[in-house]
Structure formats: structure tokens, C-alpha cells
Amino acid sequence: MTPSFQRQDAELQILCALPGRAHDLARLGLLAAPGRAPVVTVIGKYNHGKSRLLNELIGMAAFSVADRRETLVLGERLHAGVCWLDAPGLDADVDAADDGHALQAAWLKSDIRLFVHAAKEGELDAAERSLLAALRSDAQRSKRQTLLVLTQVDQLVDEAQQQKVMQAIALQTAAMALHAVSSTRYRQGVDAGKRLLLERSGIPALQSALKRALEGVAEARWHEAMLLFNEIQAELLQLQAARQSALQGLCHEQVQQRLRFDTDLIAVLDKVAESMRAVLAAPGPDHSLTPDSFANQFKLTPGKLERNRLQVAYSTACIEINAVLLKHGATELPLAQQTSVRSLDSVMVAVMGVYVKYRRDLGEIFCQVPGRERLLHEFSRYYEASVDRVALARSVAAAGQALRAADQALAAHVRCTPSREAP
């Protein structure tokens, strides 16, 4: 497997364990890609002059500019060792998919964001404020920088109005540095070779600020890579611990449940064996084996009385054992063993059979070691095949699998430990 496939494979394993970290994993993957140029993205509402600003910053008409909603998909241009991203304008009323692209660009790919706001619009609106707040809090966490750019300032009537707008925005942004620019003035300054216009355009000052920000990208990337790596690792460790304890809990329950069943089953078999011994110890001949004749079919014979006594003892034993099976949810046969005759679908019938029991049978079944061992073995087997017990076993298997997935994700994550790129 090539290193990039290995990384994808590892990312997939981590993603399966932590689906909520999809974005961070994608970002971490980008941060790990060697030799990636720093990425500068414009972000802001449509028609606020984002594409034109990028064109002026890089000195070429790389992105399409128009007096309407123009940029609809993410545009990308590599220039002077920087990747410039032109994002569609944000405006929830127009097309949420475009907004999605712009945000994806801002959050996923970019190292530096130019948050663009057109001066003629005055203050930032609610959507801009909340986006800027999110970008700033991300900057605190990831050290990715956002530069606030007030565009198209030439459209304001005079300097005083510009100051008014800037003061209003300063109040909204807790005095975040605001770069006032005019692409129009800059172009005029370049075309006419007028230095004053160039300076008044604010673009050279923005370029200097951008240059400083770009110088910090390598350090910021390293910080962010370690931050994301450590956060994901902590979450994976947490997940692993939670899954470990879930599995332990289920295994404990499985063992305890079985212990409770074994204890109850042994107790009832002991009790039944004792009662049966008393029944079988009756003195005198065993009349139960003497068949009834036609002549005394309606008479109470010693044979009938004895068979009746054995039958009552046997039924009592079965009822007592069945009570234990019932308590532990193991009275019905597993689905695969069920027949069309409902009354035969019980564990008792399956284990004890339907033949008539005589003294010898009862002694062998309940009082002798092989019989008792068989009962223990058979009832336990059916207990393990009972619905709840099978469900518990499945939960244990699933919890084991989930733990293995967390283990693998953690190992995969460790294989992706960031390494610092040589400057």
C-alpha cells in the first residue's frame, strides 16, 4: 500500500469510530500532505468584491468578476507559492449549496481567511457577525488567521462616512483590525502609475498584512495538526475505555446470569433427587410393572395406584424444574427446533421425552450421576439457546467488535502522528 492509501485506510478506520470528527480528519489529512502551498480564501456575502480583491492581490484576472451573483463554485489559482481560493458569496436566501461550498473552503482548505464586507452595506448583518465570530473563535483554537477587509470603500461619499462605517464595525467586532480597501482605486493607481491612489486603495497595506500572516502559516499548521491529533487521540482513548467497560459489563452480566441459572438448576435437581429417592424407597414389590387386565380395568389396582404415585412424583419434579427454567427464560425451544405441535415445543419435553416413566427410569433420570449430568448438560444447553441469552451473547460479540474497532482506530491514529515539515 502506498503511504497515501495507508493514510486513507487509517482515516477510514478512525472515521468509523468517530464519525463526528469527519471534518477534523479531513483537515488533518490536508495538514499532513507534504509541500502543500498556504491557502488564502475570501469569504463574505455575494457581490461584496471578493473575486476582484483576489485578482488585485495576485495581479491578474484569475477569477471572474461581475455586478451580480457571479462566483458559483469554488475557484482555485496557485500564484507566487500561495493557493488562492475564490469562494461563492454567502447568502442563505439564494442557494444554500453555494454557501456550503464557501464554508467548506473557509473551514477545510484555508490557512488564512479574508473576511470581506462591502463598505456601502454599513454594519455587518447578523449572519456575517455570527460567521465572523465562528472564524475568530476558530482562530483562537487553530491559530488560523482571519483578516477583516472592508471593500469598495470608494463607494462611500467621503472619508468621514468611511470613518463612521469603520467605527460601527469596530463596535461590532471588538475592535478587530479592519483593512479598508478599494480595488477600483488600486487598479486606477496601477494603470495611471499614481502612488497616492495606490496607497489610498489600502491594497498594499493589506498585502503586507497578508505577507505577515503567510509567514505564520507553517507554525499555525503545526499547532493545528498537533491540536487536532491530540483531541482525536483523547476522544479515541475515551471511546476505547467506554467500549472496554461496556464489554466488561456485558461479560460480567453474562457470567453472573449463568451462575444464577446454574445455582438454581443444581438446587432444584438436588431437591427433586431427594424427593424422588423418598418416593422410590417405598417398601414392597413394584406393582407399577404389573399390567392391568381387562377384568379390572375399572378397579383400583395396586399397579394403578403405584403408577399414579410415580406419575405424581414425576410431574411434581418436572413442574419444579420448569419453574426454574421459566424464571430464567428457557422454557421454549429455540425457533429452529420448534414443531407444528405447540405442546411439544417445550424444553421439558425435549429433554425428558414423552415416554412413561417407571421406578427405574425415575431413579436413572433424577438420582444417578449420569442422568443428573445429562439433565444439567441438556437444560444448560437449552438455556444458552434461549432468546434472552442468545441476545446477550450477540451483545457481547457486538461489544467485542466495537472495542476491536476502537483499538484499530487508535492504532491507525498513532500511525498518523503528525511530523513537522522541514522549513
Ligand X SMILES: Nc1nc2c(ncn2[C@@H]2O[C@H](COP(=O)(O)OP(=O)(O)OP(=O)(O)O)[C@@H](O)[C@H]2O)c(=O)[nH]1
Interacting residues toward Mg ion by CB under 5 A: 50-51, 70-71
**Which one among 66, 356, 397, 398 touches ligand X, defined by CB under 6 A?**
66
E strand or H helix at 76 = strand 75-79
Closest CA to 176 of 188, 184, 185, 167: 167
Q: How far is the CB of 37 from ligand X (least distance, A)?
A: 22
CA angle (311 as vertex; 310, 317 as ends), nearest 5: 90
Residue 139 CB coordination number (10 Å): 15
Nearer to ligand X, 67 or 191 (CB): 67
Task: Select from Mg ion, ligand X, none the partner in contact with residue 184, using the beta carbon and a kind-dependent cut-off of 5 to 8 Å.
Answer: ligand X
Phi, psi of 84, deg, nearest 5 = -100, 130
Q: How far is the CB of 166 from ligand X (least distance, A)?
A: 15
Q: How far is the CB of 86 from Mg ion (least distance, A)?
A: 6
Q: How far is the CB of 416 from ligand X (least distance, A)?
A: 36
Kindly state the cell numbers that stand for 174: 471588538
Residue 182 near ligand X by CB under 6 A: yes
DSSP state of 332: B
Q: Are 58 and 207 in contact (CB under 8 A)?
A: no
**Which one among 1, 19, 67, 294 touches ligand X, defined by CB under 6 A?**
67
Residue 142 CB coordination number (10 Å): 19
Residue 38 near ligand X by CB under 6 A: no
Q: How far is the CB of 66 from ligand X (least distance, A)?
A: 5
Grouping H, G, I as helix, E, B as strand and the rest as coil, residue 122 is: coil
Task: Give the CB-side neighbour count of residue 93, counting CA atoms within 13 A.
Answer: 4
Residue 328 near ligand X by CB under 6 A: no
Residue 151 near ligand X by CB under 6 A: yes
Q: How far is the CB of 152 from ligand X (least distance, A)?
A: 4
**Which one among 24, 111, 154, 235 touches ligand X, defined by CB under 6 A?**
154
Nearer to Mg ion, 71 or 182 (CB): 71
**C-alpha of 27 from chain center:** 18
Q: How far is the CB of 36 from ligand X (least distance, A)?
A: 25
Number of residues near ligand X (by CB under 6 A): 22
Give one DSSP letter per residue of 267-303, joined into a string: HHHHHHHHHHHHHHT--S--GGGSPPPSTTTTS--HH
Residue 305 near ligand X by CB under 6 A: no
Of the candidate spans 67-75, 128-136, 156-164, 252-260, the one that interacts with ligand X by CB under 6 A turns out to be 67-75
Closest CA to 349 of 377, 379, 327, 306: 379
Closest CA to 421 of 223, 211, 142, 139: 223
**Which one among 13, 51, 162, 346 touches ligand X, defined by CB under 6 A?**
51
Give the CA diameter of the chain.
137
**Which one among 37, 65, 176, 349 touches ligand X, defined by CB under 6 A?**
65
**Which one among 41, 47, 142, 346 touches ligand X, defined by CB under 6 A?**
47
Residues that bind ligand X (CB under 6 A): 46-52, 65-67, 69-71, 88-89, 151-152, 154-155, 182-184
